[in-house]
Structure 1
């Protein structure tokens, strides 16, 4: 596949349609993809859990029934991957010839009520080329999301380079980051929720900034940071009890030296654009190359279990027989080896 060395990337910082409305939010995604593509973007990245929204409310112990009803509504507004909603976004991606990466709340047909915090990769042919389910839901997310697995810790070969991504506080998990860096990731999509600005007297803004720039420095890669912003005119109309929707954003585009080439954008909606030049990556690797001369794979390496998680694993009689046959074959080889060793030892003694 021939790689496009230079292209424009777009980091989206807007509010989903609230209260939860997956149909209108998907329509919004399609509109933004079309707009960004018309302005030259080849890669368009959306925030964490953008469809239908990041779940930033929590359980009210004085009214748990209300929380259950809100969660059911939230689940009904979440999507299958692939599914009708990704197909709709895919049609626009195909029409415009672009890559779209969007955070969603993902449901499964088989297990009703299960939600995943997922990052979906859609290619210019209109199909889902991959998805990553957040492995470790953070803090209050554990009320909503099941754990993902490593089957989605992949880097995709595309015409714009080797593309991957992580979600929110996964950027504070060194092993998760290196699982992508070690696959030669060049373009990293960092999906964040935006969060309320001040918590316990401290600002959250530096977290997204520091973690995203560190990702660029550690991987010598470009990082597209997409974070959510919800205007007060929208948040004041959301009634979910114990919640906070004053998200500040923080979207931007960072080069392999950890420098912003677009953004960061705070406290307003918008789309941040940046020019990606893959030829800057080897220039940065001339200083530090964490997958080449500055690594020691023979000393420190990773083992990733890419098997999908499932509550049921079936073991058939044929599987058992195959295992027994393998064990018996190994035992036979071991016995032959012991006999040969004993014979050779006897010859040496003679």
Structure 2
């Protein structure tokens, strides 16, 4: 399987333009004969970078309220025409896609956002949407906690693939849930900067004896619309580069195949061999011969809370 990390910039807060960029990147990946293309966390339509750089927790701050409302408007619903556009592009170009996006709740929950992972098979279409289990620190001012409804792996081009968003990769039981699904390729989506993923990409590869692909994005203040409430303030404080990439790939034995690609813009590709997964499981198979199901038991509650069902 040939995989690719799309280390690129979103058209921040511009949903139509970002979706057009996603489709153009799928087209480019097809020209390079990529089987599975992965985008950074919250790529559509950008990461809420301002939260940790402004007084985001100030109660009733009109600038913060305006920023959130604009961020909400630039998000996608899971069953939207925009998602269908991406699904059709993946099918047309024969490229499976893992895409980080800001998911807007549906029905009476349309004022709520989730940090979500859209999973698409080039042949089967939409596989599902995973909502990040726990937003990290200031992210909780923007994103709601997710659920385990799509905490699972999928068979894509003959490889069992799973994915998690940012620091939920540090949650041992979340990782184990994917290992238990027969995971052979683990994809971790990050907003950007290799430092936030330091340690866990290689640890996941060795723990699960899986290929571990880490996908990071790029973002600078020049990418932010001039009328965004905090842009002038942040530039005056000296902010410039927000995310500088750092996508990487680690083999099932823990060997770094692609070192964090800082500053590089474009597709980062590699052809993986699943046989290496099973060569390395001779010594350690975390859900097989090195598991003790007579002692340990993991229960996953996979229901999705659908606010639309509150009203009959």
Common topology (TM > 0.5): yes
- Could you say which residue in structure 2 is the equivalent of 1:159? 157
CA-CA distance at 1:253 after TM superposition? 2.0
Moved more, 303-312 or 88-97: 303-312
Q: How does the TM-score come out when normalised to structure 1?
A: 0.80
CA-CA distance at 1:55 after TM superposition? 0.7
Deviations 1:256-298 (A, max 9, x none): 1122323421123222111111111111111211111111111
- Could you say which residue in structure 2 is the equivalent of 1:219? 208
SS of residue in 2 equivalent to 1:261: strand
- Could you say which residue in structure 2 is the equivalent of 1:266? 262
- Could you say which residue in structure 2 is the equivalent of 1:276? 272
SS of residue in 1 equivalent to 2:50: coil
- Could you say which residue in structure 2 is the equivalent of 1:80? 77
Deviations 1:180-226 (A, max 9, x none): 1111111111100115xxxxxxxxx3441311111111111112211
Q: Does residue 1:15 correspond to 2:9, yes or no?
A: yes
Partners of 1:173 and 1:160 in 2: how far apart? 27
Partners of 1:305 and 1:219 in 2: how far apart? 22
Partners of 1:209 and 1:273 in 2: how far apart? 20
Say whether the 8 Å CA contact 2:163–2:188 is kept in structure 1: yes
Deviations 1:285-330 (A, max 9, x none): 112111111111111120111111256987x9xxxxxxxxxxxxxx
Note closer, same or farther for the CA distance 1:112–1:236 as it changes in structure 2 (3 Å cut). Answer: closer
CA RMSD for the aligned pairs? Answer: 2.2
SS of residue in 2 equivalent to 1:25: helix
Partners of 1:312 and 1:25 in 2: how far apart? 28
Q: Does residue 1:25 correspond to 2:18, yes or no?
A: yes
SS of residue in 2 equivalent to 1:217: helix
The within-5 A match list for 1:73-222 is 73-110=70-107, 111-125=109-123, 127-195=125-193, 205-222=194-211
Aligned match of 1:66 in 46, 63, 66? 63
Structure 1 spans left out of the alignment, 5+ residues: 1-6, 196-204, 317-350
Partners of 1:157 and 1:284 in 2: how far apart? 20
Partners of 1:270 and 1:232 in 2: how far apart? 19
Partners of 1:262 and 1:238 in 2: how far apart? 38
Deviations 1:56-106 (A, max 9, x none): 112273981111111111111100113211211112211121210000000
Note closer, same or farther for the CA distance 1:136–1:302 as it changes in structure 2 (3 Å cut). Answer: same
Say whether the 8 Å CA contact 2:106–2:307 is kept in structure 1: no
Q: Does residue 1:39 correspond to 2:35, yes or no?
A: no
Number of equivalences:
299
Say whether the 8 Å CA contact 1:70–1:240 is kept in structure 2: yes
Partners of 2:28 and 2:187 in 1: how far apart? 19
SS of residue in 1 equivalent to 2:16: helix
Structure 2 spans left out of the alignment, 5+ residues: none
Note closer, same or farther for the CA distance 1:298–1:54 as it changes in structure 2 (3 Å cut). Answer: same
Partners of 2:308 and 2:14 in 1: how far apart? 33
Q: How does the TM-score come out when normalised to structure 2?
A: 0.89
Say whether the 8 Å CA contact 1:79–1:104 is kept in structure 2: yes
